[in-house]
Each structure stands twice: as C-alpha cells, then as structure tokens.
Chain A
Amino acid sequence: MRTTVPVIIAFLSGFAMILLFFISPEHSKIGTVELEPEVLSWVTIVGGFTLLLGVVSILRVNYVAVQRKKEGWIYNLATLVSIFAMAIPAILPESWSPLLGTGTGSIYDWLFNNLDAPMMSTMFAMLAFYIASAAFRAFRARNAEATLLLITAALVMLWRVPMGEMLLSGIHESIPEKINTYIMNGANLAVQRGILIGAALGAAAMSLRIMLGIERTYMGK
C-alpha cells in the first residue's frame, strides 16, 4: 500500500503523458475538457504546494530556535518577523487597501523590490571577490591539462570584454573570430554536445526507472 500505490500512480500518470504525446488534443477530450492541459494544470497546482513545504520547514526551525533561546536566537526572530511581514499583507485582500495583496505598490511588492531583490543580488555579487581570490591562489599550470584549461580560460576572458578583444585584435585581427569559431563553436560545442547527449540519455533512462517503479528514492524512507 505505502509503496505500491505511489508506483502505480507514477506509472499511470507517466504512461498517460506518453500516450497523449501521440494523440492530437482534439481526440483526447472528456466531454469538452482537453485531457492533457487539464492533467498538466493539476501538476502545476500540486507543484505549487511543494513550495510551501520549504516555508513550513523554515518556520519550524526558526520557531524552535527562538522558543529555546538558542545562541543567536534574535536572528531567528528576525527571520520569523520577515516571513510574516511579507506573507500576511500579501494574503489579505487587495480590496481592503492598495497596500495589501501582491500588486504594484503593495507592501509585498515594496519589500521584494527594495529589500529581498537587492539583498539576493548582493549575496551573489560577493562571489566576484571569492572567484578572483580563488583564481589567484589556486589556478596553477601544474600539468599539461591544467595549462590548457588555464590558457583557454585566459583567452576567453580576454575575448569576451571590449578591452581584451582590442588587445587580441592588436596581435592579429582574426584572433577573436577564431576563438569564437574554434573554441566556443568548436571544442566547447563538441564537449557540451557530448555531455548533453549523455545526460539526456541518462535522464530518459531515469524517467523510465521512475515510471516502472525501479527508482523510488524520491519517495524518501
């Protein structure tokens, strides 16, 4: 029951999708309801609920930390307050006040555009410092392969910026074009194509395993 039913559901829903691929939408209707988009809209609805699972987890972890006054609990409190500050005005009806809901000019919209988005951008912007430091400290031509990687990286970094492109063109005017042709659209394309084909075959095989109930790790323990 606990594993057989999910396996049957996975098989039937996967099989239905394969079947619907070969049937035109006009011939796959129940009454006036088109089967494929109807089922897929169900998938999007269920998928939406999964987003809330993460929110519940964050709430639980932070609530426990505050309740037990763990070290740094004040930060957990800030997380809890932020969650409610964002969520409560968002779910209240817009008809009560233009500050409610998620539309332009709402608290939700303001908090996102002026706090959440800039902070997320800044978090990732900090990676620029780390990657520069890592390159200086660890990027070494230890052997032939590493040297090839290093030279390619340097050429591509030069080629992709105006000043570097000018430098390369100064050496020989055809160098930027050759980098695009032979590195990006040559060796790089070949490797990416190889990886793409391999990964796609793997994904198709994994999908088949899920449908047939061989792969069950998604069910958890």
Chain B
Amino acid sequence: MTWIEFVQIWIIAFFTISLFSFLYKDNPFYRIAEHIFAGLSAGYYVGLVWHAVILQQMINPMTEGGKWWLVIPGILGVLMFSRFTKKYHWVSRLPLAFVMGNTAGIFILSELHGKVIPQLRSTMLSLNPAQGLEGFLLALIITIGVISTLIYFYFSKEHKGTLGAIAKTGIWFIMISFGAHFGYTVMARISLLIGRILFLIDDWGGSIIWLFS
C-alpha cells in the first residue's frame, strides 16, 4: 500500500461513516456528504455529455467526417433548454416529440412482438400432456396463475361471481409472488450493506494494520 492509496481509502471511509452516522441521527457530517454526493453526480453528467454526446457524436463527426447534418439533432438538443424560459418553453416540445415519437414507434412493435406474443405462446404451448404429470401440473398452475392475475388487474368489470372467484385466486398467486419479491428485496438491501462493510473491514481496516505495521 502506498501513502496515496492510504489517503484515498481514508477519504472514502470518512464519507462512508459520515453517511452511516445518519442512522444514529441527522448531523452536519451526513448533510455535507449528501450535498457533495449530489453535486458530484450532477457534475459527472456534464463531463459525460460533453465527451460521449457533444464531442463523440456531434463535433468530431462534423469536423472530421463532414457529417454536417448532425447539426440538426444538436439544435434539437439545445431547444430542450427553452423550457427554462417563460415565453418559449413550448419550443422544447419539438425535440421531446421527436424522442417520444421514435420511442413510441419502437415500443408498439417490441412490446407485442418481444413480450406479449412469446409469453402467451409459452403459456399455451406448455400445456402439453406429453411432458409427464409433474410438468403438466406445473404448466397448469402457471396457466391458472397467469389468467387469474390478468383478471385481478382487469378493472373494467366488477369482481363478482365467477370473475370475483378467479380474481380471488389471482390474489393468492400475487401474494406468493410478492412474498418472493420481498424476500429477494431484503436480500438485495443486505448485499449492498455487505459491500460497504467489506470495504470498511478489508480496505480501511487493512490500511490501519498497514499504518501500525
């Protein structure tokens, strides 16, 4: 370990502990760390857009590749900032409409072609008795689950009678899925904490040992 690495680790440890200190109660260390974090994140965007978008996608291809037409998306991008004015804020709708329109055009097909059709196909084709009893039963459970979930989220008709019974079945399925989701979410959050504790023990703790050795 070098002294530079040592200082680096201590800076990270200082801000990590400052943020964790909020668990005890709000304090100036937490607040300063929080505000520096927000500022650095915003600053990161500036550097990223300057290099990845303005230089790499616009200026360089225009100056070196002669792609003058790239000035059009550049102008559209700049028009976005008109939303900060009172009089011309509507102009920002033009680039926004361009982005939204393109995305919508892609989505109409991809949502149906890439999600609805394959998922429906899989549900229907899985009900093949040739796959054995256990496989068939699992496929049947899935089919019932898919249908009852869809019906539970169908609000155009009151959930009464047969529809109500199916929707009720849907709730049971949904509870199982949400339970699984909760279990996984707990796991995710604990993992993030483990990551920070591993840093504090291995790196920061290691730097303290290095200092005294």
Which residues of A are interface residues toward B (Cβ below 8 A)?
2-3, 5-7, 9-18, 21, 39-56, 58-60, 62, 72, 75-76, 78-87, 90-91, 101-102, 108, 111-112, 114-116, 118-132, 135, 145-146, 148-157, 160-161, 181-198, 200-201, 203-204, 206-208, 210-211, 218-220
Contacts and interface: CB of A to CB of B under 8 A. Distances in A.
Interface stretch (B98-106, B156-164, B205-213): B98-106
Contacts of A59: 42
Contacts of A41: 57, 73
Chain B interface residue number, banded? 35 or more
8 contacts: A13-B105, A49-B49, A53-B80, A54-B45, A82-B35, A83-B43, A198-B153, A207-B105
Given A45-B73, A193-B146, A196-B115, 11 more contacts: A18-B109, A42-B70, A51-B48, A54-B45, A60-B84, A114-B12, A149-B175, A152-B176, A191-B177, A193-B119, A208-B104
A208 B103 CA distance: 11
Given A75-B35, A79-B39, A196-B115, A127 B141 contact: no
A41 B42 CA distance: 24
B68 interface: no
- Max count, chain A CB within 10 A of own CB: residue among B31, B109, B150, B180: B180
A142 to B, nearest CB: 12
A208 B32 CA distance: 46
Contact of A2 (B77, B93, B144, B184): B93
B109 A119 contact: no
Interface in B58-103: 58, 70, 72-74, 76-78, 80-81, 83-84, 89-90, 93-103
B174 A48 contact: no
Given A80-B39, A86-B46, A118 B70 contact: no
A165 to B, nearest CB: 13
Interface of B: 8, 11-12, 15-16, 19-20, 22-23, 31-54, 57-58, 70, 72-74, 76-78, 80-81, 83-84, 89-90, 93-109, 111-112, 115-116, 119-120, 122-123, 138, 141-150, 153, 170-187, 189-190, 192-193, 195-196, 199
Given A58-B42, A201-B116, A10 B97 contact: yes
B175 A148 contact: yes
Contacts of B185: 131
Contact of B115 (A111, A128, A132, A197): A197
Contact of B102 (A13, A81, A204, A220): A13
